[in-house]
Chain A
Amino acid sequence: MTTGTSIPRGAIGASMARKEDPRLLRGRGRFGGDFARPGQLWARLVRSPVAHGRLRSIGTDDAARADGVVTVVTAASLPPGLAIPVRLQVQDADLRDYLQPVLAADTVRYVGEPVAVVVAGDPYAAEDAAELVDLDIDEAPAVLDAAAAAGPDAPRLFPGGNVAADFTLGYGDVAGAFARADRIVEIAVEIGRHGAVPLEPRALLADPDPATGRLSIFGMTKVPVFNRDLLATLLGMDETLIHVHAVDAGGGFGARGEFYPEDFLVPWLARTLRRPVMWVEDRGEHLVAVNHSRQQVHQIAAAFDTSGRILGLRDDVVHDNGAYCRTHGIIVPELTVAMLPGPYRVPAYRGRVRVVLTSKTPCGTYRAPGRFEGSTAREQLLDVAAHQLKISRNEIRSRNLLRADELPCQRSMSTLGTDVVLDAGDYPALLAAAQAEADRLGYPDEVERGRRAGRLRGLGVAAFLEKSGLGPQETADVVVSRTGAVHVFSGGTSLGQGIETVLAQIAADALGADPDQVSVVNGDTDRQPFGGGSWASRSTVVAGSAVHAAAGAVRDRAAEIAARMLEADPGDLVSEHGRISVRGDPGAAVTLAEVARATAPASPYLRPGEPAGLSARRRFEVAHMTYPYGVHLAVVDVDPGTGGVQVLRYLVAYEVGRAVNPALVAGQLRGGAAQGIGGALLEEFCYDENGQPQSATFMDYRMPTAAEVPPIDVLITQDSPAPGNPLGVRGAGEGGVSAAGAVLASAVRDALGLAGSVGRLPLTPARVQELATNGGGR
């Protein structure tokens, strides 16, 4: 039905303050660890202290007898054969042999692998008793170097070997392109192992209700409906008996909220013991237990013609996946090679990746998975190629970026089960806009000034392609209650990104209400049993589109009821600020509250057979992702005496299609850039030769602080609305981090005047000092 209601201005596109802030800034947020139930027990994991070995026995008697201990559980106590399945199955990879068991039964494969769990009356007693669990492990050689582990003579972590998958994506005649090239440029680029490391570690409370058999879960985020369904399957329960509650979360970034061993253990313990069980991860555990990411070696080459145009591109990637394939399966390596050509015109491409298992913490996604890594390799290759071809770094990019008239561009590859179709945009225009913004902000002058003063100062540039809005669907419910309050029940989760605010703005816009009237609940599986979760920069796109549709349906229904109340034609009504009035007669109006009450059972305005209530559920389906894009520019100083790198200026230019809340888009980009600076310069999970983690504290795993992150300049463009969704929006979650490794590698390379590549991230002082002394790799 069509109504004449108009969309109010200002709800979408306003940098309104976050709806989350009043509770978060006043300390009223409720995080997983904030919940408590009477009679609650505490779980403590016992983790493998060795990187690889055969588990001969686990002595639990002393721990079980310790004060306050209720039970000690090992794999022998659990249902046999429990392993955590892959959530995202791609490329027909069969990973069944490489899945992580809930508790190790006979072999341990990384330091930190859960082998037992102690349950006690308080967390101190549980931790004391966990030390008393006696592990008898026959140590085996640790497998640490992924390239070597892929070889035939390496010690095996699994009977089938250490290579979980080996696949190639691509299209076109790559061999022919390289055969007729005027110049071939090839470099090796290694990306260090680092990860999401949200500042709130994981927490989980499972509370069984003996009367109903229901299980309440607090602390699951990201993909609550998927986790609920998986947990139900593993526990042999009906999924509606599990209620995952909405909670706040101190950052997710891909790692939090995936289904980990603890996500089975804690609910299983609660059901078995018939008591609430709480588990709060500490930082020491977190750094060895939660998904790591990023560790790859790229051997990347491009074929160019005399004018510097790319004829072909090839990459051979060794991906270190750690000890198991977890819920992400092989999507990080897949995204790496599928997204590697980026925003460029690449007539022929082949990307091979070997997914190798090693004696380290298993890997998963981390904000911009595959793109941080691939963009670093590709952009560093372009910098080196520009040097060899004697053209500028901007010139090689603008010659090769796809033009607006070349889009949409279909690449004969798939990723995340969808075809790669670059939807729309003007990549060269954004590169030019970013350069102009950097000029306006004085970046080139700052480089010149520094160099004149004798500093090793460099400017970095990197272009990148993002992806967002992964389907296949998202569902939203919009309900107006008797007070006129608008309730949105969405399937995303609040990870600190501000999605409640964004969805409220979208709902207000579609409904003709004020954002203040709208409250948003994300990630409650009873309120929204069909949610797809918040990940892959999808929520504004897919949850936003679902909310848009549901709120639009409510607006239409409200207009229909209001027309009966006002004895007007629905086509003559205007919905604004929660009021529906007759056009040209503002006195003839009803409020949303009055309309909602008019839909109560027995209301005279309800016709026979019509359901009561003012609400709608809508589903948004999408077959293809939408591809945002951007450019990073950075100015750095390198201190040759210490190898220290100081980031002086940093600009993120990003095409977001339509910014629902520009301040939140800018916040996403700034936060991403801060994390990217960490991954490019500071953070690395290191291991010694025995596979012992060397970065197990915040002293040794160095996250950037405010002192290491300069003010981040942001240029948000809205020149290319996404064609695939009604709002025209593109995801904003990952564009700030995507090219951070690439741009800082570019800037350091420029500062040092290297001919070759920087070779490896992170650019630690020792590494930079060596580059300053000996020059870069080929």
Chain B
Amino acid sequence: MSRTRSTSPISRTVSRRSLLAGAGAAGAGLGLAACGGGSGGDGGTPESDPDHKDLVMTVWGGEADKIAYQARVDLAKEKFPDYTITLQLIPSENYEQKVQTMISSKTGPDIMQVAENVNVYSSKQQLVPLDDYISAAGLDMAATFGPVGENYRWDGKTYGIPDRSGAMVLYYNKDLFDAAGIEYPTADWDWDTFLDAAKALTDPAKGQFGYGGVGWWPQWFSLVAQNGGAVLDPETGAPSVNSPEAVEALQWAQDLYFTHKVAPTAVDYSNMGPEMGADGAFQQGLVAMNSTGFWAVGGNAGIEGLNWDIAPFFHGKEKAVSAFGSALVIPTAAKNPQASFEIIQFLTSAEGQTPIADLGQDVPANLELQGSDAFLDPEWLEADANLEAFPESADMIFTPKFIPEWNEMQKSVDDAMASFWLGESDAKTTADDLQSRLERVIKPSE
């Protein structure tokens, strides 16, 4: 998950992704139509051609991402002088279509960045299973990456090495807390303490809300998980969004808007200004708390006079919080997967990830680096923010099953919940409706 991918559906803002995707649509169609079907591998470890030394790595993002990835690739080149590694940065909004075209026309990259869409590729035999390489290299996934190490498994095989992984955290405006006379949030907050604070921080007269809202999937998926439910079954990926636990969590989420009125609805946001969402409203002091990813650290630090900090996300009956991350994978079309893996292994080591921390690009997935001063007390950040919140949240990260129908699931969620977040339908009706829509698009793996 990069920052440009994170547009909240509740405040359906115009994302750069959708702007450019439109422009790219026609081109993608032509490119694909011109090339035939790609061939599927047999799922085993393919042969490596040791003479193939020119490797291409595709990643998405903006200028800051380009700098960070290039710095890491430069480190890798020093480590592996025999290889030339070419970094291809593709704008986020075109990434999926672009790599789809590359893979279909058999000009796929040797190393590729993926996120929630990983199993679009792995389920269609387009990725090299890494388990043999991992055991040969003696890489301990659980110790190196924590629970996130399991994220990129599909059908009993591991397809990706986690590269970036930051939990969603709670940003809070210290000045607004001080003015309301409330203690700052801690990891001990539960739904009740959170709600009390949100109520106290809401002041309709000033147009000020206690909380930015939970309409975006990483937010309310977390609440469902905290209540002991699951939108997607962790084993099979089958939808279970109308379980009593999930419905209760959804009702609590909706009440934040319409019963307690502590969070701005989509209507409130669109009245605040164009492109306005929780991140922007937090920076303007219109919401006192906001749960989002690491990218807001840099954004908030750039706002003059904003006195803010971060804490781990609150918990319910259980601890659970979404994370935003990505992994590196090897497409089956790669000619020298052995070399690809060696480079990936380096790039995901503490040494290879250091530029992520030094440049403030994101949270490195490598736990050793996440807990080191390079990440926790970086030079790029003047503000005294408690980055400790990220490693502190690492062991409560829950990850929804990355189903191959991920994009269709997102569309169903947006469609079914549009009226819910406007207060026009209740939790049970919405959950039943969403459940039937999801059952239509998701084919459970087992």
Whether A associates with B in a native complex is no
Binding site for B on A (CB under 8 A): none
Binding site for A on B (CB under 8 A): none
